[in-house]
Structure 1
Amino acid sequence: MKKSTKPTILVVNDDGITAPGIKALIDVMKDLGRVVVVAPDSPQSGMGHAITIGKPLRFDKVDIYEGVEMYRCSGTPVDCVKLAVNSVFKGEKPDLCVSGINHGLNNSINVLYSGTMSAAVEGAIESIPSIGFSLDDFTLQADFSHCKKYVRELAMQVLENGLPAATLLNVNFPAGGDLKGIKICRQANAKWAEEFDERIDPHKRPYYWLTGVFQLNDAGEDTDVWALEHNYVSVVPVQFDMTAYHAMPILNNWTFNV
């Protein structure tokens, strides 16, 4: 792949290549550079950083949006980034990787489960400046119009200034217009209190539906949850180095009797 004078932008998602959210992201990125899309052929929400092993991946060029190079992948969002880097760009990294716009929030602890964010994380692992975008609306009729100017501004800032090493951005939008602006935030301390609804199938065997309640354990006004509740765009810098550095001195004081 020859390097263009315009920035090359890899667009991925987890809702599938025909999702309205990725169309909104493509519309913005087309004005900023040369767009290459690699996205799953079906929804992959909640896949986290899963990759496909033990079975082949299907990878086909498709023509969905005029003037955009697009590929449909049978694998996970992370598979899409890996195939883009190795099979489309052939090791020559794009200037930016953007993932989304996801149908549904990926704030707080949701970042760990998100296929949208894991695709962006994989981009960052490949040393590509990366951003994940999500909207607080799960419906196929979601309105992304109020997100676009913020998507554009954040992408331009990253293209111009780059990001710190091993860092990416997790960006979440409230639903509806009249946003107050951008807040740089930390990830709120929250978790899902899961329950499993047990049911019986026609063969008298039990099966389970996952349900749950989002539990916020954080009253801080510097979190992504607070920002979204107060109609701001939340921007959280994320790192994929999961080392708990504050715990290392404690563990180094342990006495191991082996």
Structure 2
Amino acid sequence: MSKSKPTILVVNDDGITAPGIKALIEAMNDIGRVVVVAPDSPQSGMGHAITIGKPLRFDKVDIYEGIEMYKCSGTPVDCVKLAVNLVFKGKKPDLCVSGINHGLNNSINVLYSGTMSAAVEGAIEGIPSIGYSLDDYTLQADFKPCIKYVKQIAQQVLKHGLPTATLLNVNFPVASPLKGIKICRQANAKWAEEFDERMDPHKRPYYWLTGVFQLNDQGEDTDVWALENGYVSVVPVQFDMTAHHAIPVLNSWKF
């Protein structure tokens, strides 16, 4: 790898032809040598799923001139695993960026997000990793206001690195102008879910998942607060899910 020009792996969960990944490719191409590995179809909400029960298709594609690109039939996490093993062959990239997702991945959404799980997989592999998301689900989403911050954050990570086993979850509001960056914690929230029951032509029920986002946190240091107030939220995320504060409690029990 060139020391003067970093190698950057670009992944996503919306699929290789999504407008969000095009914006991220263009932003990263100004910083380093870009290699893209992305799903061949949308994979939103896949979380950290991997494909183990069927073979994967992995093909080189020519979509954007001068960019090395591959499409994968699997999940976002599969894309990172294939990139590390087949494309880079153990010589890992300097940075892994995922997105730009169509829709927020703030608060509890980080657990369900294919975008963030791809970045988590990058971090598991020891690659400095960032997930980017914008609060706009439409194909007409305007990513231009995000690009300055996308580049700034990526350049800071390349310059300083990240703490061990840590990655960044970056979310953008639809605000004009953006007020700047806030380093935040993940807000305490959840989805109050319902299943809308309908009937198919054969009179068999089927279900659509619906829900309402419930915020149980009024702190002004959260990602939800930052986004609601026009700031870019940056949350450091770890994949060690140990509840360290609970260990002394459990050690006090009599087994």
Identify the residue that residue 238 of structure 1 maps to in structure 2: 237
2:19 matches 1:4: no
2:64 matches 1:78: no
- Structure 1 residues 37-56: aligned runs within 5 Å: 37-56=36-55
Identify the residue that residue 212 of structure 2 maps to in structure 1: 213
Question: Is the contact made by 1:143 and 1:176 (CA closer than 8 Å) also made in structure 2?
Answer: no
2:157 matches 1:158: yes
Matched letter for residue 4 of structure 1: S
Deviations 1:175-205 (A, max 9, x none): 1430000000000000000000011111111
SS of 1:209's equivalent in the other structure is: strand
1:246 CA displacement: 0.4
Q: List 4+ stretches of structure 1 deviating above 4 A.
A: none
Matched letter for residue 154 of structure 1: I
SS of 1:55's equivalent in the other structure is: coil
Identify the residue that residue 112 of structure 2 maps to in structure 1: 113
1:4 CA displacement: 2.3
1:112 CA displacement: 0.1
- Structure 1 residues 49-198: aligned runs within 5 Å: 49-198=48-197
Aligned Cα root-mean-square deviation (Å): 0.5
SS of 1:149's equivalent in the other structure is: helix
Question: Is the contact made by 1:44 and 1:76 (CA closer than 8 Å) also made in structure 2?
Answer: yes
SS of 2:139's equivalent in the other structure is: coil
SS of 2:225's equivalent in the other structure is: helix
| TM-score, structure 1 normalization | 0.98
Question: Is the contact made by 1:9 and 1:33 (CA closer than 8 Å) also made in structure 2?
Answer: yes
- CA distance in structure 1 between the aligned counterparts of 2:234 and 2:251, rounded to whole angstroms: 34
- CA distance in structure 2 between the aligned counterparts of 1:243 and 1:191, rounded to whole angstroms: 20
2:200 matches 1:201: yes
May I ask how many residue pairs the two structures share in their alignment? Answer: 254
- CA distance in structure 1 between the aligned counterparts of 2:237 and 2:162, rounded to whole angstroms: 11
- CA distance in structure 2 between the aligned counterparts of 1:55 and 1:177, rounded to whole angstroms: 45
Question: Is the contact made by 1:133 and 1:171 (CA closer than 8 Å) also made in structure 2?
Answer: yes
Matched letter for residue 172 of structure 2: F
| TM-score, structure 2 normalization | 0.99
Identity of aligned residues (%): 86
1:159 CA displacement: 0.3
Unaligned ranges ≥5, structure 1:
none
SS of 1:32's equivalent in the other structure is: coil
Matched letter for residue 72 of structure 1: K
1:54 CA displacement: 1.4
- CA distance in structure 1 between the aligned counterparts of 2:111 and 2:98, rounded to whole angstroms: 15
- CA distance in structure 2 between the aligned counterparts of 1:138 and 1:31, rounded to whole angstroms: 26
Matched letter for residue 174 of structure 1: P
SS of 1:146's equivalent in the other structure is: helix
1:135 CA displacement: 0.0
- CA distance in structure 1 between the aligned counterparts of 2:191 and 2:53, rounded to whole angstroms: 31
SS of 1:235's equivalent in the other structure is: strand
Deviations 1:15-45 (A, max 9, x none): 0000000000001100100000000000000
Question: Is the contact made by 1:99 and 1:117 (CA closer than 8 Å) also made in structure 2?
Answer: yes
Deviations 1:102-143 (A, max 9, x none): 000000000000000000000000000000000000000000
- CA distance in structure 1 between the aligned counterparts of 2:2 and 2:161, rounded to whole angstroms: 18
Give the stretch that moved more between structures: 168-177 or 15-24.
Answer: 168-177
1:218 CA displacement: 0.2
Matched letter for residue 15 of structure 2: G
- CA distance in structure 1 between the aligned counterparts of 2:203 and 2:135, rounded to whole angstroms: 38
Unaligned ranges ≥5, structure 2:
none
